[in-house]
Structure 1
């Protein structure tokens, strides 16, 4: 297996992914377009050291690992090729089958916010790590019985889990981290990433869509946690694939094909694509600059569509379903976009209306994580240990 081949050379990310950062000095060996093992880093906001608050006992939600089948029913069961007609009965079946997985995603991210944002201390940190360790130790989400819906669910869970772990690894005091427990979790991430990559590699062009972008975001998040350049580079290649799909009018045709849900899925695709681009920028690879001719235009089209869904109707010929679209979690991608490259016309109004922006699968309290410039100053890198508070929460 690929995991056995690469685990031999993997070094502990703890050397880099540390308690916080020692100011902004030191020479970085992360060069543009180059991934070096042990050098991958998260945006600066992940390294913010929490101000521990005095409070009562912390109530940790512990979620039993999902170790059974991941052969699941689609909520669009019975729909035609547009996959836009919700089957309520199938949706209820899907929700029941994925209850533990969704609860796990929410629990680890909520505890990460409790630790880093709200200052709930070591109990919240242990809540994140104990949940992750329990799922890792049980080989959760790694069944032989898995279909395309299960593949989708697994990648979303990996995205949430990897971001929760990254936030603890970067912001917690070094002495608080149990390396043995961390080893089990990182090994699990590597195996999950293998499963995600195996399914989403070399897919037929007609099948490549937002699911592939989410797969890339999940694997990229895990690659920073495990310091695995092979996974990192795979994720960037998937981003390139996405950019190659943008048509001359600045749209992703596969998302437009969802007809009445085109706007919804254009926005859904933008969530992982934005995060991949931000993490790449943080690590010295400006895919934003590389795709200046298509990427910002696609975002502008989306924002204009969000402001006036009739514009998307004029493209697709279908009225747009917008229920649940104008929510903090749905538009959370705008926060890191604006923090990294500045606002696109119309974006600030959505942010001002909906903040704080929070999304479980993008990392949690996004307004907190990107309330400061996500990019590392020239020549700076994380250098443990320290307890520097990078920004005050407003």
Structure 2
């Protein structure tokens, strides 16, 4: 994108209200002009119409709701402030306690892919909605007893489930969906969002890190699903908070402090930060604003570190752990970045080597979602473009 592109300029109506302020008032003092007047949009790929195929009966995996406590053990239990030493026993305990929630995420996104990518038809779409409705009716993910690890798990579940819902909702005609069911699901999303916002608002600066960015991404995804301007603005304010943490040389200090896992967590932070910026760009609201240069510098530093981890070791003095880092889900953020702003140096080689990119918490089949231009053409409206074919060719007739 050229510097003359108007999408890079801050909009006059952009709400730059600190997240701390938004969290202190029951109904944020926002007016309609702070959200796009035509409604909140997802990237264009979310609206792609499934290409049906004759696949026989569809096997829907229903996941029982998690309705118990969310007081989970951290996999870094016993580690010092760097939070970098894996406690295998604690990790296994965490996996067992959170199993239903993690399975819920995966099955929802798998069913959304079955519907939208593989063409398994209304049965796959209904599988997404049936699981969501069951969890909504059970008030899942809304326990009285929830610790900081449970808060992290809840926001990841919100990110995955909101994206699955967005995909089936936006690619379906309104008459194809039960509006009462949709209302129950969206009411549940709103209540889960309230829990996420309540915890991640007004956090001490020393605690703000990648978890806050993931919380913002989860809330933003749900805000588009429910067209909630207050939640959208909260997410943008959290993004502003993240941009303010980037150092002059383009790093996130909290992630660098993870010692031998600094590269892992810098890359991990780029996943929600990239999608936050992409969704904002899609809504003609560049989220990085005056921090564009620093944001792009951060992205380039992470890619450079992926190419040569010793660059990070030179900065924080710790040889980097890279096991499990180079995967199609860990590097999934590179695809939406490339399709929205063009690839930075080194991105293409990672996309070629580790693709196709897929990530449950970023939306599922990333190659499918960003196989078409993410940004909306001028003058189009936020309704399913029924002429958008599966091959990404559009005819605006």
Common fold by TM > 0.5: yes
**Superposition pairs of residues 305-316 of structure 1, within 5 angstroms:** 305-316=305-316
**Superposition pairs of residues 307-326 of structure 1, within 5 angstroms:** 307-326=307-326
Task: Tell me what 1:361 maps to.
Answer: 361
Instruction: Quote the offset at 1:174 in angstroms.
Output: 2.6
8 Å contact kept, 2:171–2:384: no
Q: Flag the 1:137–1:387 CA change in 2: closer, same or farther, 3 A.
A: farther
CA distance in 1, matches of 2:183, 2:173: 17
8 Å contact kept, 1:216–1:235: yes
Q: Secondary structure at the match of 2:292?
A: coil
| Residue correspondences, number | 365
Q: Secondary structure at the match of 1:60?
A: coil
Task: Tell me what 1:281 maps to.
Answer: 281
Task: Tell me what 1:171 maps to.
Answer: 171
What are the superposed Cα offsets for residues 363-389 of structure 1, whole Å, 9 maximum, x if unpaired?
A: 000010001110001111234573531
Task: Tell me what 2:372 maps to.
Answer: 372
Instruction: Quote the offset at 1:354 in angstroms.
Output: 1.7
Task: Tell me what 2:20 maps to.
Answer: none
8 Å contact kept, 2:40–2:382: no
**Superposition pairs of residues 83-162 of structure 1, within 5 angstroms:** 83-162=83-162
Instruction: Quote the offset at 1:84 in angstroms.
Output: 0.1
8 Å contact kept, 1:38–1:227: no
CA distance in 1, matches of 2:379, 2:36: 16
CA distance in 2, matches of 1:240, 1:118: 37
CA distance in 2, matches of 1:74, 1:128: 29
> Is 176-185 or 93-102 further displaced after alignment?
176-185
1:269 aligns with 2:269: yes
What are the superposed Cα offsets for residues 41-64 of structure 1, whole Å, 9 maximum, x if unpaired?
A: 100000000110011211111100
8 Å contact kept, 2:240–2:288: no
Q: Secondary structure at the match of 1:291?
A: helix
Instruction: Quote the offset at 1:287 in angstroms.
Output: 2.0
8 Å contact kept, 2:371–2:392: no
Instruction: Quote the offset at 1:93 in angstroms.
Output: 0.1
Task: Tell me what 2:222 maps to.
Answer: 222
**Superposition pairs of residues 3-22 of structure 1, within 5 angstroms:** none
8 Å contact kept, 1:108–1:128: yes
Q: Flag the 1:60–1:295 CA change in 2: closer, same or farther, 3 A.
A: same
Instruction: Quote the offset at 1:188 in angstroms.
Output: 0.5
CA distance in 2, matches of 1:196, 1:369: 26
Task: Tell me what 2:333 maps to.
Answer: 333
Instruction: Quote the offset at 1:172 in angstroms.
Output: 1.7
Instruction: Quote the offset at 1:36 in angstroms.
Output: 4.4
1:205 aligns with 2:199: no
TM superposition score normalised by structure 1: 0.90
8 Å contact kept, 2:263–2:305: yes
8 Å contact kept, 2:38–2:382: no
Q: Secondary structure at the match of 1:275?
A: helix
CA distance in 2, matches of 1:76, 1:328: 24
CA distance in 2, matches of 1:296, 1:42: 22
Structural RMSD (CA): 1.6
What are the superposed Cα offsets for residues 314-363 of structure 1, whole Å, 9 maximum, x if unpaired?
A: 01100111111000000000000000000000000001112210000000
8 Å contact kept, 1:173–1:385: no
8 Å contact kept, 1:49–1:171: yes
CA distance in 1, matches of 2:94, 2:289: 40
Q: Secondary structure at the match of 2:340?
A: helix
Task: Tell me what 1:189 maps to.
Answer: 189
8 Å contact kept, 1:272–1:362: yes
Task: Tell me what 1:236 maps to.
Answer: 236
CA distance in 2, matches of 1:315, 1:142: 41
Q: Flag the 1:369–1:210 CA change in 2: closer, same or farther, 3 A.
A: same
Gaps of 5+ in 1: 7-29
1:252 aligns with 2:255: no
CA distance in 2, matches of 1:37, 1:207: 35
